[in-house]
Chain A
Amino acid sequence: GAVVSQHPSRVICKSGTSVKIECRSLDFQATTMFWYRQFPKQSLMLMATSNEGSKATYEQGVEKDKFLINHASLTLSTLTVTSAHPEDSSFYICSAPRRDSYEQYFGPGTRLTVT
């Protein structure tokens, strides 16, 4: 099956610094990728839709200046958490749909801890 990877799997950073998370589709091209965050014992919440070659679309309540998304190629989307604060600590998950499938393929997630 299709594979989506995320890097890093875990990251700890200090408050005020920025962190970049990568999402790659390894064996298919994805013009669209999705970014979710998941708080402990809660469901996934869609943050934004990443569009290759154009601006990302953010869900209501998500600060686009804080969560910068770049979809530079058909296999890579990045999420940068800028000026991170402890409340940004969460599990961030990306997904990508194949063009010929209804199915989304999820990355394994990145656990961000801001100290």
Chain B
Amino acid sequence: AQSVTQLDSHVSVSEGTPVLLRCNYSSSYSPSLFWYVQHPNKGLQLLLKYTSAATLVKGINGFEAEFKKSETSFHLTKPSAHMSDAAEYFCVVSATNDMRFGAGTRLTVKP
């Protein structure tokens, strides 16, 4: 069994400041972990993925995430937020083709 907890339902930052979206996971296997972004009325877009290689994963649009097994965390970060980053972000855990989504974190970026 596996599950994902996104610790914040809503995060608000000012443009140009760092972004931190927190994710903790639980899995009976060695999971793969993903972050997806969903803009309003759009489909899901993969930001980055961890699949047991390097623990620091770089994704698109300046996002990165660090896999910390001891903390069972996979937090998403970006050094400087842009207005276009405003969206819903989902942390996802996957093992043996069983994919589970977190509840999502809505990121708001203030000018």
Residues in chain A within 8 A of chain B (CB atoms): 32, 34, 36, 41-46, 49, 93, 95, 97, 102-104, 106-109
Contacts and interface: CB of A to CB of B under 8 A. Distances in A.
Contacts of A106: 36, 43-44
A42 B94 contact: no
B94 to A, nearest CB: 7
Contact of A104 (B94, B102, B104): B94
A41 B10 CA distance: 11
B104 A42 contact: yes
Interface residues of B, number: 19
11 contacts: A34-B99, A43-B104, A44-B90, A44-B101, A45-B101, A93-B44, A95-B99, A97-B97, A102-B49, A102-B94, A109-B43
Contacts of B99: 34, 46, 95, 104
A32 B51 CA distance: 20
B11 interface: no
Given A45-B101, A106-B44, 8 more contacts: A43-B104, A49-B97, A93-B44, A97-B97, A103-B46, A104-B94, A108-B43, A109-B43
Contacts of B44: 44, 93, 106
Contacts of A36: 101
A34 B106 CA distance: 24
B32 interface: yes
Contacts of A43: 90, 101-104
A108 B99 CA distance: 18
Interface string B76-111: 000000000000001000100101111110100000
